[in-house]
Amino acid sequence: MPARKEKIVSIKCLGEFDDYVYDLEVEDAHTFMANDIFVHNTDSVYFKDNKKKSKGEIVQAIKDITYEIKSFTPFPQDTFGFALEEEIDYLEFFPNEETGTFGKKNYLYVTKNDKLVIKGLPIMKRNGLEVSKRVLKKLWPEIVKNRNCRFPVERIQTEIIEFLKEDMTLCSKAFAVKDASFYKKAGQIEAQISTMYGKGVHHLIPNTKIGAGKSKRFCTFEEAKKLTLNDLDLSLVYSNLEPFTIGEVKVLQKGVFSWGG
């Protein structure tokens, strides 16, 4: 069903409610229509098959679990249930970069049919850096074949450098900035970019030598012609690829990084 934007006509209080309230959700769309009610659906659920059951046995187990849950639901609906979406052969969850805790929709898996699916990682989002995505694309077949997404940091670094030798702009980051007067602090990186390059969308290369910024600078593609690979600040590239590395990046000095175990 195609999504439609509708104007809310009125909101009416139906009085106090002393009973169960459900918050359900559908992946990606997050919402759907059920009995003319705009609702959410539940998230994915994973079952670990330790006894190597057949697909038929797993489907039956899902039905049994669904029946058990519905037996505790005050108003069970026929539309409520689980479906077997994927048969997963390899699964890896990743911690949130900010909190360090494991959350939903931050994982990778390979199915029995060799399909690789990655959810929630920054590298897969629109602002993920192009060089990071190209490195991952090169590693993709090995992840599927070996059922392992971790690579030595030296290997990751080699792949990054090889791509940047060909095209340094692959590590650029996009900034959509307003007029400099819009920002309360002149030291804000967006304000500095706007002051130097004007308002609009700019694709800039992070480095330690030239451009807008202080310790980390951002320059245009033309200005980057004066830079060497050692002048680049690759911290965001490394951050994008951190879930796929064994080892940590160690800072030797500003803008210069070394991979270590």
Task: Look at the pTM and tell me if it is higher than 0.85.
Answer: no
pLDDT band of residue 104 (cuts 50, 70, 90) is low
Q: What is the pLDDT of residue 32?
A: 53
CB atoms within 10 A of CB 260: 10
Identity of the amino acid at 100 = G
Task: Tell me what pLDDT residue 43 has.
Answer: 59
Q: What is the pLDDT of residue 110?
A: 95
Residue 254 has pLDDT above 50, yes or no: no
- Say if CB 205 and CB 193 are below 8 A apart: no
Q: How high is the pLDDT of residue 23?
A: 54
pLDDT at 126 over 90: no
Which H or E run includes 32?
strand 32-34
Helix, strand, coil percentages (3-state) for the chain, rounded to 5, are 30, 25, 45
Condensed to tens digits (0 to 9), the pLDDT of residues 10-54 reads: 777 766 666 665 555 555 555 555 545 545 555 567 777 777 778
- Measured from the Cβ of residue 168, the count of other Cβ atoms closer than 10 Å reads 20
pLDDT, position 168: 94
Coil/strand/helix, residue 190: helix
Residue 213 above 90 pLDDT?
Answer: yes
How confident is the model over 233-261, as a mean pLDDT? 69
How does pLDDT run across 131-158, given as a tens digit for each residue?
Answer: 999 999 999 999 999 999 999 988 999 9
CA atoms within 13 A on the CB side of 181: 0
**Range scoring the smallest mean pLDDT among 19-23, 52-56, 97-101, 168-172:** 19-23
- pLDDT band for position 220 (cuts 50, 70, 90): very high
Predicted pLDDT of residue 149: 95
> Which candidate, 223, 191, 192, places its Cα nearest to that of 207?
223
pLDDT tier at 66, thresholds 50, 70, 90: confident
